[in-house]
Amino acid sequence: MVATNRRVDLIHERVDVALRVRTTLDTDATLTVRTLARSRRILVASPEWARRLGGEQALESLASVPTLSSVEQAGQDVWVLVGPGQRTATVRHEPRLACGDFLALREAAIAGLGVSLMPDHSCGAALCSGQLVRVFPDWHAPDGMVHLVFTSRRGLPLPVEALIGHLAEHVRDALMWGEAT
């Protein structure tokens, strides 16, 4: 099992199946794709950070507050957000923490380390419990499609077929009901 946010080459890296989230599926034309659900990344922070931001802050203020990003390397990051009337905004920022693990990002946001752009299903329980709150709730990243990618439906080993069936059944429900961690 490989857990990464980078694009994996299934054939060259000998990966049987990948679980991906993309805004478009055009890059997987030579592979078999099975769409499971939609995912929306939202801006979240601890209640303390939300109070610091205040209710009337402009979206551009994100560039000057500590942020937590899902990129896997340090350096500047860019968040493209969609808001009221399908307006778009680009926020360039230098993350305090850059990490490809959404569990670690969620815990860092809960600990008050900054604002994070996270999949709603990754932080749903923390939002319900009040550990996290949405900031700039009218803004979110473009919706992504959660999908499985594999090389072919023919000739798959039985364990791979079983994994695909299991993921198709359970990932959709977990994402839909906010049970994913």
**Residue-wise pLDDT tens digits, 22-53:** 777 766 667 888 888 888 999 999 999 988 88
Residue 12 lies in a domain: no
Query: And the tokens for 73?
Result: 């390397």
Residue 8 lies in a domain: no
The total domain count for the chain is 2
What dihedral do alpha carbons 26, 27, 30, 31 form, nearest 10°? -90
Question: Residue 74 is which amino acid?
Answer: A
Pairwise CA distance, residues 149 & 11, whole Å: 11
Residue 3 lies in a domain: no
Same domain, 112 and 150: no
**Residue-wise pLDDT tens digits, 105-142:** 999 999 999 999 999 988 999 999 999 999 999 999 99
